[in-house]
Every structure is written in structure tokens, then in C-alpha cells.
Chains A and B, each alone.
Chain A
Amino acid sequence: MLYAFLCYNDEDAVFSWSQAQDAAVMAALDAVHKPLEKAGRFGPAVRLMPTTAATTLRKDSDPPLVLDGPYAETKEQLLGFYVIDCDDLEAALTVAKDLAKANPGGAYEVRPLRLFLPGSFAKEALPPGAAASGKAVSGEAAAE
């Protein structure tokens, strides 16, 4: 079963990390990603820009309302996500615990997928920072 790992953390803290701290977290996460990749279980992974870069379209009015900022004002913010193939919830929680050891603070919401469309990005069309290679994508993966 495919599970989404929604990564929540305090973005004030995450964006206060020094470059060295950020790199250390990334390296620790990479060690968790690698075996999953090798086993063919590692799906798309995304690290989001801070919520200050977000815009929200409220579609409960007509015309929809466009607002600056994230949908929800929360103590921890959604800062990224993974899609990982896991046998069951126990296996998914094991992955989440490994990720948590590499990157403490905040929370992972583990949620099974109902539909997965792998998308049509050619490698060249990948967003900045992810364009170098397939491996770079996992390197960029949701540090939060």
C-alpha cells in the first residue's frame, strides 16, 4: 500500500537552521531514503518553500477568494511530503520513526493513498534544485 508521509514542523525553527545543520539533517535523511530507494519503495518526495511563498484559493465562494499564506494557520506547518510503499501501517510507522530519528521535532502524519497518479514530468521539467538527476530529487526530499 502507498502511504503519504506529511511532514509537519515549526518553520521558524527549520528556517533558522544554519546551512551546516540543514546539510546534516539532509545527510541523515538520505541514509534513511537510500535503502527504501534500493527496495523500490521510495516514491516522489517534496520539500516545500516556506508558507510565506504560499497562496490559498478559497473555493467556497464564487468567485473563489485568493488569500496570501497557507490554508491553515498552525503551530507546525506542512513543509513537505513523501510517498512510500509500505506493507502495512506497522511498516509505515517504522519508516516514520527512522525519519524522525534523522530529523527530530514536529510530526509526520502517515496516511494511506486513495489514488496515485505518477505524473508526467520529464526530468528536464523538474523544479529548481531537483533538476540535476533522479538522485537529487531524493536529496531534496522533505527534510521537515
Chain B
Amino acid sequence: MSDLAWMEAALTAARPQAIGALLRYFRDLDLAEEAYQDACLRALRAWPHNGPPRDAAAWLIMVGRNAALDQVRRRSRQEPLPEEETLSDLDDVETPLAERLDGAHYRDDVLRLLFICCHPDLPATQQIALALRIVSGLSVSEIARAFVVSEAAMEQRITRAKAKVAKANVPFEAPGPVERAERLAAVSAMIYLVFNEGYTAGGAERVDREALCVEAIRLARLLLRLFSAEPEIMGLLALMLLHHARVASRYDAAGEIVLLEDQDRGAWDQRMIGEGLALIDKAIRHRRRGPYQVKAAIAALHARAKTPAETDWGEIDALYAALELLEPSPIVTLNRAVAVSKVRGPQAALAMVEPLGERLAGYFYFFGLKGALLKQLGRTAEARAAYDQAIALAATPAQAAHIRAHLDHLAADAASAS
């Protein structure tokens, strides 16, 4: 690996910690980002000569802080009013010691930085964009590409989100245990959003968006290193690893979805599956069941089955039943119905699905599954109607293409029968 590539990786890795600490000093996101950028520029100049520092994050924090303080001092000479209130701790500015990173501070710095992106007033897409920009350090053009919008539009979206966040007054004191747990839950949800944004993409966007899955996994690993005894974070990381392990087999050459049962299991990434299974083992020992752990356990049962026929659908049914209690939602019930159809047949599954019609009237997968169950039961006309509704709701060309294949299949069956 070249020096430059190595430094890039080191800077990316140090970014959340460095910006998190700079944010604690300056209490201003823009100032913290500027300070970090400044420190990175200096690192690119200094590191090739002096060799990389042992602790890249501490180096960046110290250099970034000094650079930003210089700037603030210069500005204050030009402007009539000093901006002292923008600084939290001017007193220890002259402290000659390099920043000694206190483990607890570091944890809360990174958590705060992630939490800022989870502001409840921000719609999901803005939370994701903000996290990718601030925490992951993706460029605006990279994020714009992932969301398939223009760079200008994304720039504006991020600027607006930042303005909203700046007004939100996230407290900078170390959070108490209850608040910390709440932040962890919000941040976990945001990381899972980032992952799903990448995971649900199809077609040409897929390659650009895959980076979002990788990034979400990286963020979850970071979070778990900071909060190493949290079974739900283990579950979240395991869940994403087990899903992402299948990425190479989820779409065919034409960009169409390949269903789980038709996927080439040999193409699944065994290294990711191994890590996911190891994390579930760890999480279970805590005996504190949570939705991410249950979802990960379901994904693990799929990952463990060498062929679709070996899938333990009975256990998957039981896990979805557990999930219905933890996190009741018609979508969970819909997923459970898939397992039920394998264990108790399409009639039982259809009975479970039909009452969901009203709440899932706009949901692609509802009509997809309903169509499939009706087709299995030989109720062809009703199956066709359900598939038609699914196509109308398809969010990606790949989804639509997948349903169209089922309709063609039905038409072919009808033609050969007549």
C-alpha cells in the first residue's frame, strides 16, 4: 500500500474520534470540521517526513485544536467582540501536554457525534447524509452519487440538516446511564438506516450504495469497541454482517433480485458470516434479548443452512414470534408468514397475511408475498391481481422485474394449461 493510501486509511479511522473531541472543545460543528481538515492537511505534510504518529487521533486533535485557536485569535483581533463563548475551555489551551485520551471521554465524544446526526426533526435521509458527511467523512459528491441526486441538492440538504442540528443544543456534559442508553439506541437505529439505504438499492446505483453498507458496518464496529458489553450492538453488527455476506449473490448479471432460496450460497462471504455468528454467540450470553439480536439470529439460521432445504423454518417462525412481541409491526408478521408458509403451508400463511391488508396497502412485499401464496394455492386470478398491485408499488426496477417474472410464469402456466 502506498504512503498516501495508508495515510488516508489512518485519517479515516481517526476521524470520528478527532472530530468528536474537537466538537467537545469548540461546541460548533463547522469549527470542529474545519479544525480537523486543517489538521489533516498538516498531517499530509508532516507524516511522510516524520513518520506516522503512534496515536493518529491524538495528533490530529492537538494539531487541529491549536490551528483552530490560532484562527479564532486572529479573527478576534479583526472583530470588535471576542468569540470566547464559542470555546469551552480556553484555560487549558496552553497546556503543553498532548491530549491524553481518557477512555470515557473518547466514548462519549464519538457517541455524541453520532447522536447529533439522529436529531428527531431530521428525516431519515438527512440523518444518513449528515452521518456520512460528518462521521464517515464521505465527500458531498460521493453521498450525492449514493442518493442519486445532484451534488448541489445534496450540499443544500446537508447544510440545512447542519443548521437544524446547530440549533438543537445537544448537551455536552457526559451523559448519565439512562441518557447514554437512549443515545445508543438512537445511534444504532441511524447506523441501521445507513445500512439499509445501501442494502435496498438495486440496479446501477447498487455499486455506489454498497459503500453505505460497508460504512455502516465500520460504524457499528466502532460503537461496539466503545461499548463492548452491549448485546444489542453485537446484534446490530452481526445482523449487518450476515446480510452483507450475501451481497455478491443478491443480484444476477441483469441486475435483478435473486431470492434467498435461489442464491448461490458458495458466493456468500464466509468470513463475514463467521464474524456475525461469533457476535451472536457473545450476545446470547448476556441473556438480554433485543430486536437486533433476534433479527441477527434469524439471519444466522439462513447463513447456517447449506441448502435452502436445510433452513430451520420452525426456529425462524419462533424467532419472528419473539420479534412480534419485542417490536410488533405488520412487517414482522408478514415476514413471519413466510416461515409459516414453509412450516404449515400457504393456507395458514395467507390467513396470517390477509388481516394486514389495510395497514400494508402501500407495501410492495405485502402484495409480492400475497401473490406468491395465492399462486401456490392455485388461485391464479387473485394471484395475478396481487402481483399487479406489487408492480405498481415497486421502488426499484429490479423489484418490478422480479414480479414481472412471476406474472410471466403465471401466464405461461395458463397458456400450457389451455
Residue ranges of A at the interface with B (Cβ–Cβ < 8 Å): 10-17, 21, 24-25, 28, 49-53, 55, 66-69, 73, 75, 103-105, 127-129
Interface positions, chain B 276-294, Cβ under 8 Å from A, are: 278-279, 282, 285
**How far is B6's CA from A55's CA once the two chains are assembled, in angstroms?**
29
User: Interface-forming stretch among B125-133, B223-231, B337-345, B373-381?
Assistant: B223-231
How near does chain B come to A127, taking the closest CB pair, in angstroms? Answer: 7
Of the residues A52, A68, A129, contact of B237 by C-beta under 8 Å: A52
Hey, what's the 0/1 contact readout for B216-247 against A, CB within 8 Å counting as 1?
00100110110011000010010000000000
Given that A52-B224, A75-B55, A129-B270 are contacting pairs, would A16 and B229 also be in contact in the complex, using a CB cutoff of 8 Å?
Answer: no
**How far is B300's CA from A126's CA once the two chains are assembled, in angstroms?**
20
Given that A28-B1, A68-B229 are contacting pairs, would A15 and B221 also be in contact in the complex, using a CB cutoff of 8 Å?
Answer: yes
**How far is B5's CA from A17's CA once the two chains are assembled, in angstroms?**
9
**How far is B272's CA from A128's CA once the two chains are assembled, in angstroms?**
10
Give chain A residues whose Cβ lies under 8 Å from the Cβ of B273. Answer: 128
Given that A17-B9, A21-B1 are contacting pairs, would A53 and B271 also be in contact in the complex, using a CB cutoff of 8 Å?
Answer: no
**How far is B294's CA from A4's CA once the two chains are assembled, in angstroms?**
40
Give chain A residues whose Cβ lies under 8 Å from the Cβ of B218. Answer: 15-16
Query: B52 contacts A52, CB within 8 Å?
Result: no
Q: Confirm or deny: B77 has a beta carbon within 8 angstroms of a beta carbon on chain A.
A: no
Taking A50-B221, A104-B3 as known contacts, 14 extra A-B pairs with beta carbons closer than 8 A to each other, sorted by chain A number, are A15-B13, A15-B221, A16-B218, A21-B9, A49-B278, A52-B237, A53-B278, A68-B229, A69-B225, A69-B228, A104-B1, A104-B6, A105-B6, A127-B274
Hey, what's the 0/1 contact readout for B6-35 against A, CB within 8 Å counting as 1?
100110111000000000000000000000
Q: Confirm or deny: B54 has a beta carbon within 8 angstroms of a beta carbon on chain A.
A: yes
Query: B278 contacts A12, CB within 8 Å?
Result: no
**How far is B3's CA from A72's CA once the two chains are assembled, in angstroms?**
29
Query: A49 contacts B54, CB within 8 Å?
Result: no
Given that A10-B56, A13-B9, A68-B282 are contacting pairs, would A24 and B225 also be in contact in the complex, using a CB cutoff of 8 Å?
Answer: no
**How far is B5's CA from A16's CA once the two chains are assembled, in angstroms?**
11
Of the residues B5, B13, B234, B274, contact of A128 by C-beta under 8 Å: B274
How near does chain A come to B105, taking the closest CB pair, in angstroms? Answer: 14
**How far is B271's CA from A114's CA once the two chains are assembled, in angstroms?**
31
Give chain B residues whose Cβ lies under 8 Å from the Cβ of A75. Answer: 54-55
**How far is B279's CA from A67's CA once the two chains are assembled, in angstroms?**
13
**How far is B218's CA from A26's CA once the two chains are assembled, in angstroms?**
20
How near does chain B come to A56, taking the closest CB pair, in angstroms? Answer: 10
Give chain A residues whose Cβ lies under 8 Å from the Cβ of B222. Answer: 12
How near does chain A come to B111, taking the closest CB pair, in angstroms? Answer: 15
Give chain A residues whose Cβ lies under 8 Å from the Cβ of B228. Answer: 52, 68-69
Give chain B residues whose Cβ lies under 8 Å from the Cβ of A25. Answer: 1
Give chain B residues whose Cβ lies under 8 Å from the Cβ of A51. Answer: 225
Q: Confirm or deny: B96 has a beta carbon within 8 angstroms of a beta carbon on chain A.
A: no
**How far is B275's CA from A127's CA once the two chains are assembled, in angstroms?**
12
How near does chain A come to B157, taking the closest CB pair, in angstroms? Answer: 25
Q: Which 9 A-B pairs have the closest CB atoms?
A: A12-B13, A128-B270, A69-B228, A13-B13, A52-B224, A16-B13, A68-B228, A53-B278, A68-B229
Q: Confirm or deny: B103 has a beta carbon within 8 angstroms of a beta carbon on chain A.
A: yes
Query: B52 contacts A53, CB within 8 Å?
Result: no
Q: Name which of A24, A53, A67, A69 has the most chain B CB atoms within 10 A of its CB.
A: A53
A-B contact pairs, 28 of them (CB 8 A): A10-B10, A10-B13, A10-B56, A11-B225, A12-B13, A13-B9, A13-B56, A16-B13, A16-B218, A17-B9, A24-B5, A28-B1, A49-B275, A50-B225, A52-B224, A52-B228, A53-B275, A53-B279, A68-B228, A69-B228, A69-B229, A75-B54, A104-B3, A104-B6, A105-B6, A128-B270, A128-B271, A129-B270
Query: A12 contacts B6, CB within 8 Å?
Result: no
**How far is B6's CA from A103's CA once the two chains are assembled, in angstroms?**
9
Give chain B residues whose Cβ lies under 8 Å from the Cβ of A103. Answer: 1
Q: Name which of B3, B9, B222, B273 has the most chain A CB atoms within 10 A of its CB.
A: B9
Give chain A residues whose Cβ lies under 8 Å from the Cβ of B237. Answer: 52
Of the residues B14, B271, B274, contact of A12 by C-beta under 8 Å: B14
**How far is B274's CA from A105's CA once the two chains are assembled, in angstroms?**
26
Query: A105 contacts B52, CB within 8 Å?
Result: yes
How near does chain A come to B139, taking the closest CB pair, in angstroms? Answer: 15
Hey, what's the 0/1 contact readout for B186-223 against A, CB within 8 Å counting as 1?
00000000000000000000000000000000100110
Give chain B residues whose Cβ lies under 8 Å from the Cβ of A127. Answer: 274
**How far is B54's CA from A103's CA once the two chains are assembled, in angstroms?**
16
Give chain A residues whose Cβ lies under 8 Å from the Cβ of B279. Answer: 52-53
**How far is B237's CA from A67's CA once the two chains are assembled, in angstroms?**
18
Residue of B nearest to A75 (CB): B55
